[in-house]
Structures are given as structure tokens and as C-alpha cells.
Structure 1
Amino acid sequence: MSDLIELIYEAAFVPERWTHVLQKASKLSASASAQVFFFSETAPPRGMTLDNLRPLFDKFINGDMWKFSEGTQKMCAMQPASFVTVDDFLSAEELEHDPARVMLREVGIGAMACSAVAMPTGELATFVFQKWLKDGAFMPNEIEQLNLLRPHLARASLVSGRLRVERAEATTSALELMGLPAAVLSASGRMMAANSHLQRMDAALLPVAHGGLAIADRDANRLFQSAITQMRHETTAGSIPVPGIGDNSAFVVHLLPLRRAAHDIFGGADTLVLATPITPSALVPSATLLNALFDLTPTEARLATDLASGLTLVDSAARRGVTVKSARTYLERIFRKTGTRQQSQLVAMLKTVQPLVPPTPD
């Protein structure tokens, strides 16, 4: 699993590696094939696939079939924050007549698993895995294996989406191509390069002694420095919420390890720091954004949005059909993931992105 996670982060910068990621993840989940799609409001979909479905992939993505596929439209609307079996959300008639499913059945493809990553930039990355008809449905343990990969796929797809799946050959061009505030750090935490977008955030992201980088908010910086230290010893990643500072509105700092070819592309740097402004869009209007920002599980995200909308912990537990003890356990996990320490602090942080976290229906 650790080798696959390293490969995922390499694929963020070296698009041809996505094929290897999909191959290994397919083997892990006993899938026949796999794809990653990038959807946006302003451009046609794009993505990558394994070669065994490339002709169908090209037909699907280059024509209008994706617009008329009930499965595609439902998954984009639902934005499942964990991998789900697509068939569970389609009627028998939809399964029978969906043009994409008809095309896939003709080559022996049956069950499909899907998860969507709603990115703060307004884009949607969708990961799809398929089974051969003869192999039946996805087993719970296979879905679980995919869900273990999902947080890493989320961060890697954010970078791939910003780079428009084009390889950047030099550190400075790679950072500028992202269109987001970004810097690369050495293993010791020294800032080796930063783009102009990050340099303009000098009220929130500060240069410090020995060439390091810090966040102007105390709690966020505590998490940030701890994450940098941890990345020296293991292949990990993290997402840190930062409240509005000065003229900068609230944003999230992502730390991604640079391994393999990505390490070479960025001149031997070890960590990419990416500051993601929170940008509302019609494509990403719901609380599913919390999953992409902070790796919250669906249950944790629902609790967080309840609290942000004014419900008490007890009321949220009753609404969601869980015990208060379980809700407190979820809340402790949310504190760890969002860098907050108490409920009032969490709610204040969530309210900085209030348009994106409306109350969710029962």
C-alpha cells in the first residue's frame, strides 16, 4: 500500500503515472479497469483510463454520451465522499438503457464503483472502477481498500487538475502553472522556491529563520510545523484550515510529499505546500467539500455541518440516529483533522466557509 501511495503523489505531477496508479488500484480492488475524470463548469471533461477501455473512454469523453448517462449525472450530483456501488443508485430501467452502461456491457463490463472529489477550486474529480460481468459485484473489503486510498487520490487529483494534466519540466513553471499559491520545501523545511501567488500572501504565509515558512495563525502553524516534521520520516500528507488573515480570506494549506519523478521535477525538493482558496461554484455547492478539505468521513462531515448550522451536539446525534457518545467520538476526530480544539472554535472556522456548508437534509 505504501508504494501505491507514493505512486499516487508522483502521478500528481507526472500524468503518465496515473495509468500505473489505476492499474495497481484495480488489482487491489479486483477490478477489470479504472478511470479518473475531471469535470468543470467551463470546459469539457478530461481524464485518463486503462488501455483495455480506451476506445470506449474516448467515445464517452469526446462526445455527448457523458451528458446523457444517468449514472454519470447521478454520481456528479451526489458527489459520493466514499466509494459507492453505482448500481445501488440506478433503477432497473436506468441500468438497462443508460447509453454508457449499454456500451460497457457489450465488452463484458458490469458493476461499477465510484467516488467523487469536490475540490475547492470548483472542479470535480471522479474515480471509477469496473468489474467484469462474470466477476459479479464489488465486495465490501474491495470497497474498503479503495476508500483507504481516497484521501491520497483527492490531494493528487487537486494538483493534476490545476496542472491540466500537463507535465511541468521545471520547478518555477510547475508552480506557476498551478495557478494557486505554492512553494516547495526541502526535507529540513527550508523554502526552496515559491510562486508569485504565494508571495502575495505575505500577511498569512511568512518567511522565518533559516529559510523556513510559517502560517500567521498560531493553531494552524502548530499543525503545519508538525506536519513538515512528520513528512521527514514517512510518506504522508495533510490538509490544514487557516482562518482569514489580513486581506486573505479563509483557505486550506495542503502538504504533499514529492517522491520519485516528482522529486526530480522540483529540483530535489521533498514537500509541496499548496494554499487552496475556498471558491464557491455551482459544481461544488455542498458539504461534501469538507471531505476534500479535511479528509472527514461522510458521518463526520454531516456532524460538522449540523454544528455549523446551529444545532447542538445532542440535536445532531438525534437527527443522525447515533448516540451522543458516538457523536462525541466523531467530534474528537473532527477536532484532530481540522486543527481545532473546542466546538466553538470549530464552528467559527466552518462559518468562514458558510456558503459551502449549508444544513444538509435528513
Structure 2
Amino acid sequence: MTTPTTVPPQPATLLRGGALDALRFLASMFVVLFHFGDEAPIPLQSLHSVWERGYLATDFFLMLSGFVLARAYGAGVASGRIAPVRFWLKRFARSYPTHLISLAVLAILVLAATLVGKAPAHPERFDWSGLPAQILLLHAFGIGGGQWNIPAWTLSALLICYAFFPWLWRAMMRLPGAMAALALGLVLLVGGQALSLALLHHSLFDLPFQWAMVRAAPLFLIGLTLARAVEAGCWSPRTARLVALGGAAALLANVAVAGPDMISLLAICALTLGCGALPPILATTRPIPGAAWGARVSFCLFMTHTITGAVWFGAIQPVIERIHPAVATVAWQAWGVWLLALVAAVVAADLYNRLIDAPLQRAIRRRWFSAPDLSARPDPRPAAEPSA
């Protein structure tokens, strides 16, 4: 007679495809709409004031970066399993290659256009003397903002935030509970805006490029407070959904009536909090269709849409108008061509992710990050490092 062997239950496999993944893609897509808005048959800014506030999507992106990072790596950093230097190098390796490739492609395009006698539509943005500052990502130090691949300023600021993340998150872990974390986030949001208005005479949420670090740091910290609130609180699925839906409704209502940016940021906080507090997607549940793909493509879309826009509006659209002149005069055709630019930006980002970014990141991980982190303390619990 044999004794049956008890097999310990295996931990559930976490999957991508949740609400936060969908939010990351939507935030990136709104940035694209904001940057392509001037090229629409009727500039979007003249249709509704919401299109003058595309900076809110970038603020969302900065806040979400802190939140996702804390949820993905907070436990490893707090326990010492991930050493601070190794953590920063991994974040640098994740973001800098795409920045460098995007910058190189833009430089080649501008050089080729100049050689054939076609100057860029905005030559002040492509000053060759400013290229070294772009390569070195000096935006956070007030140098080089507003030139070449403009979204890169966020990388410059976030890389500094990443350097301090392990200590910041450990400090967040000392907060006694969710309410304390939310209170700190509210102080950062309201206090940061008040200080910006008092000292710089400008709203924190759309500060000029020379104040990139001043703008990014509070929003990144607020993302950490929201992550701490999710971790420290007892959030039922029903409560999380109500908070997320309430935040989404408040955001849409506020932008529809051109309400204060502060209300929009508070609504974004609620939306992030609610979506982040929802139960994780498991192997036994169904993810949101397309959300996992959107999360993978969002960073590439954020970084490469400037290139796609330059090629589309500077080369492809003029060729289409030459072949089919009605495109420039018939409203629905003009809008159709403009909408195709949005599709092209997404397709280009997806191709870049599949053909360049994903293979490059796999190679970097094999070459430099395949060995265990010997400087970190071991953790007996099974843990998978999600790609954030």
C-alpha cells in the first residue's frame, strides 16, 4: 500500500493585460494625439481646449512610471534582493538604447532632407549644436529641452528619479497605512503646485523644459504614494472599481468643461489608484483584450511617434496629395489621411518593439543581467520580475 504524496500548491501565474496596462497605452496615445494635433486639417486645439492640455498625458505617464515601478520592483528593492546600482543600470539599459536609436534616426532624416534641399518644418527643433546635450540626456539639468526627440526629456528626469528610487521606496514603506500615503500624495500634489506658482509663476503640470526635473520629481513621488496606498490598504474589487470609474468619470467631465488641471490630476490619481488596486490578472482569469500588447508598445510609441510624424507629414502625406489632389481639399479625405498617421504611429511602434526593442532587450539581459545579483540578500520566496 503506497502513501499518496502531497504536492504543494503552485503559486498562481501572474499575467499582463490588466487595467494598468491599458492605461499605459491610452496615456501614450493621447501624447501622440497632442503632438499630431497641429497637423490635422483643422488644428485640434481650435476644436476643443482639451487638445491644448496634452501635457496632462505626460504628467500621467510620469506618475504611472513611479506607480508601476513600485508595484513591480518595490518588494525586491525593499528586501535587498535587487541592489540599487543594478536596479538603476537595468532601468538605464531599458530606456537609453531606444532614445539613442530614435535620436540617430531623426538625425539621419534631417540630414537627408537637408541634402535634397528640403528644410525641416521646424528647423529650430533640429539645431545640430544641441545634439550632444540630447545624446547625454541633459534635459533634467535644464539643457536641450524642446529639441530633436522632444519626449526624451522625461527619460532624463526619470533616470534621476530611478537613482533615488530604492531609498524613496524604503521611506514610503515606513508610512503607517493607506491613508497616510494618500495624505502625503495630496500634500505633494497641492504643495508642489503652490510652490511652482509662487516661485516660478507657472503651473507645475506644464512647466517649461528647463524645469523638467522640478516637474517630474513630484509626479513620480506621487506615483510611489499611490503604490504604497494600494499595498497598505485592504481594497475590495468593488471598491477598486468604484474608485477607478469615479476617477475616469471625473477626468472626462473636467476636461470636457476645461476645468482646472488640479481636478484632472486628482482624477488621474484616483484612476491610477483604482486600477492598481484591482486584483491581478491570473492564469484563471481573462485579461483585457489588447491590454498586454498595449503595455509592450506604449514606451515605443511614446519614443518613436516623433519620427513617424516627421516621415508622414513631411514625406508621405505630400506624396499622397500629389497623387490624389482631392485629399488636400475634401474634408473627409483630409481627415482620413490624418487618421492614417495615427495608425502609422501605432504600427511603427509595434514593428519597432517586435523587430528592434524586444530582441535588443533580450540580448542586453543575456549579456549583462543574466548573472544573479550577488550584492543583494537572498529571498526564499518565489518571485518573478515583471517587465515594467
TM-score class, shorter: under 0.3
Give the TM-score normalised by the residue count of structure 2.
0.22
Give the TM-score normalised by the residue count of structure 1.
0.23
* Bigger helix fraction: 2
* Bigger strand fraction: 1
Q: Between the two structures, name the one with larger relative contact order (CA 8 Å, sep ≥ 6).
A: 2
Higher alpha-carbon Rg: 2
